[in-house]
Amino acid sequence: MPKRDRLAPRDETGLAGFGRYAGPATLILSSLADGAKHGYALTKDVEEFAGVRLAPGTLYEALSRLESQGMIEALEAEDRRRPYRLTAAGAAALRAHLAAQRRVAETGLRRLAANWGSA
């Protein structure tokens, strides 16, 4: 069993196994929570709500990993575009992952306010 970084938050959702693709996976799952999208639409949506531009290689590697873990599924292609949709497992993983990230953010903000004052 790989040794877990003791400073890394516990993530029982399966997204922790994505390594450097956990960020893109979170963005993709968050986008698909709003409905099925193809690659270009995903890229544009993520850029709009997160201010992050996913490079094509990063996007399609993350899509492949998410699909192989059953978190998303590819739908029938429309023209040359293949849309993806969130699965129930993906929704549960996203919910758990975002809750864990919320705890980290709230703790950090609380500690900043207590020790560095509020902005």
Question: What band does 109 get if pLDDT is binned at 50, 70 and 90?
Answer: very high
Neighbours of 93 (CB within 10 A): 24
Q: Would the pLDDT of 20 be above 50? A: yes
In a domain, 93, yes or no: yes
pTM: 0.82
Q: Flag the least confident range among 5-14, 33-42, 109-118.
A: 5-14
Nearest one of 39, 46, 36 to 80, comparing CA atoms: 39
The answer to whether 75 and 36 are in contact (CB under 8 A) is yes
In a domain, 5, yes or no: no
In a domain, 9, yes or no: no
Which CATH number belongs to the domain containing residue 67 in this structure? 1.10.10.10
Quick one: pLDDT at residue 15?
Answer: 77
C-alpha to C-alpha distance for 72 and 64, rounded to whole angstroms? 9
In terms of residue numbers, what domain contains 79? 15-116
Q: Would the pLDDT of 14 be above 70? A: no
Map tokens 């599924």 to a residue.
Answer: 73
In a domain, 70, yes or no: yes
Residue 90 corresponds to which tokens in the numbers above? 């993906």
In a domain, 47, yes or no: yes
In a domain, 7, yes or no: no
In a domain, 106, yes or no: yes
The structural domain count of the chain equals 1
In a domain, 6, yes or no: no
Q: Would the pLDDT of 18 be above 90? A: no
pLDDT tens across 39-93, in order?
Answer: 999 999 999 999 999 999 999 999 999 999 999 999 999 888 999 999 999 999 9
